[in-house]
């Protein structure tokens, strides 16, 4: 077990290292840097720019810059943002917190919904409900995330039931803990819904398909033959037996969570990593970009680790025998 964990950790570190090298090379290949736009400004002389570049070390060779960056990662700073004038970690981590606050509950809700829906539909669905499901999930699959987010924005603007962006209302900024939590939940609702809707369709389709297959197996039919109730057969006998591929999908969905949440955050103005990453890319604020991408890579790895442990917990055939 310890060997497994340590091997997994070593793999993760190596992976992140590799990604960072590739990111540095890519960033180098992009023409221009943070100060390129200032060149257009006639009020700033070439000398000033040169001085600024050397002050921030942009004129050094790539390898040297990479070395400095690694040292800064070791300190926990993850480089320095030129646009915000502060260490990247101070920028990223609060934003990461906001993103997780939105994405994690939304993803979990999405999975619970998908499991319940998929299982019940596979177990009780008739011809018509299957058709409606197939149509609905296809439609949802074909709808771009941006459109869903814009739709949510429209609802917010028309009905005024929900805030059209942000995370807190000004009015509740100083009120008690309870009311500010309620305010937060109120702000979370629409982005959360958009996230759920955009991730739900593929997951629920997988659950449904796996369940359909498992329901045909002899052991499920045997369980029914013993008179165990339908609901119990579905959730206790069929679902765990169908779980293996779904757990792997869960790992992937944790990894993909970041790219889905990015769009939602940008359109609905949630102050997470998404909007910041977009700005950083446009401004060529290199270290913020690299930090953001590294975080999402870390998420992907974490998702897979979580999936491995879940698999281990659910399937006795994988577990160690004493």
Partner 1 sequence: MSAAALRVVYAGSDGRVSVAISSLDFDVGPQETLGILGESGSGKSSLAHALLRLLPGNAKFSADRLCFQNDDLLRFSQTELRRLRGAGIALISQEPALALNPVLTVGRQIEDVLAAHRSRDQRKQSVKSILRDVGLEDTARMMRAYPHQLSGGQRQRAAIAQALVCSPSLLIADEPLSALDVSTQAEVLELLKRVKQERRLAMIFITHNAAVLEGLADRIMVMRQGEVVAMGRFGEISASDDPYVANLISPQKTLAQLAAPAAITASGEPLLQVRGLSKKFVQSRPFSRKSFTITALEDVSFEVAECQSIAIIGRSGSGKSTLARCLAGLEEADSGEIVANRTNGKNNVQMIFQEAGTALNPRFTAEEIIAEPLLIAGKLTPEQRMERVSAVMDDVGFNPEWAGRRAEQFSGGQKQRLALARALVAEPRVLILDEAFSGLDVPAQARMMRLVLELQSRHKLACIHVSHDLNFVSLFAREVLVMDAGRIVERTSPSRLLESQNPVTRAIIEQSESLHAIGLEAVL
Q: Which residues bind partner 1 (CB under 8 A)?
A: 1, 3-4, 216-230, 232, 236-237, 240-241, 243, 314-318, 320-321
Q: What is the nearest approach in angstroms of partner 1 to the Cβ of residue 3? A: 7
The residue length of the chain stands at 322
Q: Which is nearer to partner 1, 247 or 294 (CB)?
A: 247
Q: Which is nearer to partner 1, 125 or 165 (CB)?
A: 125
Q: Which is nearer to partner 1, 109 or 217 (CB)?
A: 217
Rg (CA), the chain: 24
Cα torsion 80, 103, 4, 19: sign: negative
Q: What is the nearest approach in angstroms of partner 1 to the Cβ of residue 134? A: 17
Q: Which is nearer to partner 1, 68 or 235 (CB)?
A: 235
Q: What is the nearest approach in angstroms of partner 1 to the Cβ of residue 7? A: 11
Q: What is the nearest approach in angstroms of partner 1 to the Cβ of residue 237? A: 5
Q: What is the nearest approach in angstroms of partner 1 to the Cβ of residue 316? A: 4
Q: Which is nearer to partner 1, 3 or 75 (CB)?
A: 3
Q: What is the nearest approach in angstroms of partner 1 to the Cβ of residue 9? A: 15
Q: Which is nearer to partner 1, 182 or 236 (CB)?
A: 236
Q: Which is nearer to partner 1, 224 or 279 (CB)?
A: 224
Contacts 24+ apart (CB under 8 A), 115-118: 115/207, 115/239, 117/204, 117/207, 117/208, 118/203, 118/204, 118/205, 118/206, 118/207, 118/208, 118/210, 118/211
Q: Which is nearer to partner 1, 33 or 224 (CB)?
A: 224
Q: What is the nearest approach in angstroms of partner 1 to the Cβ of residue 284? A: 46
Question: Apex CA 257: angle with CA 166 and CA 99, to 5°?
Answer: 30
Q: Look at residues 267, 271, 133 and name the one whose alpha carbon lies nearest to residue 209.
A: 133
Q: What is the nearest approach in angstroms of partner 1 to the Cβ of residue 207? A: 16
């Amino acid at each position: 077990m310890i060997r497994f964990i340590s091997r997994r950790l070593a793999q993760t570190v190596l992976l992140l290292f590799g990604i960072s090298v590739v990111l540095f090379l890519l960033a180098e290949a992009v023409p221009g840097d943070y100060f390129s736009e200032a060149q257009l400004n006639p009020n700033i002389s070439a000398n000033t720019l040169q001085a600024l570049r050397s002050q921030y070390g942009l004129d050094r060779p790539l390898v040297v810059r990479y070395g400095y960056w690694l040292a800064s990662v070791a300190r926990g700073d993850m480089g320095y943002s030129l646009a915000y004038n502060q260490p990247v970690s101070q920028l990223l981590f609060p934003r990461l917190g906001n993103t997780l606050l939105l994405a994690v509950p939304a993803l979990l809700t999405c999975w619970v919904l998908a499991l319940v829906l998929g299982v019940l539909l596979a177990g009780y669905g008739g011809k018509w409900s299957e058709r409606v499901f197939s149509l609905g999930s296809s439609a949802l699959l074909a709808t771009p995330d941006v459109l869903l987010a814009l739709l949510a924005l429209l609802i917010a603007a028309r009905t005024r039931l929900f805030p059209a962006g942000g995370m807190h209302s000004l009015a509740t900024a100083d009120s008690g803990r309870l009311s500010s939590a309620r305010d937060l939940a109120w702000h979370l609702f629409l982005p959360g819904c958009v996230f759920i809707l955009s991730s739900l369709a593929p997951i629920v389709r997988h659950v449904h398909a796996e369940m359909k297959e498992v329901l045909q197996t002899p052991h499920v039919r045997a369980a029914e033959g013993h008179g165990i109730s339908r609901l119990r057969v579905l959730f206790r006998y069929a679902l765990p037996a169908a779980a293996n591929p779904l757990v792997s999908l869960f790992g992937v969905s944790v990894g993909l969570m970041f790219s889905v949440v990015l769009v939602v955050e940008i359109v609905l103005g949630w102050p997470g990593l998404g909007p910041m990453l977009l700005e950083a890319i446009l401004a060529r604020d290199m270290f913020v970009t690299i930090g953001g991408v590294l975080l999402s890579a870390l998420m992907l790895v974490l998702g897979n680790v979580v999936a491995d442990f879940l698999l281990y917990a659910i399937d006795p055939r994988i577990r160690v025998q004493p």
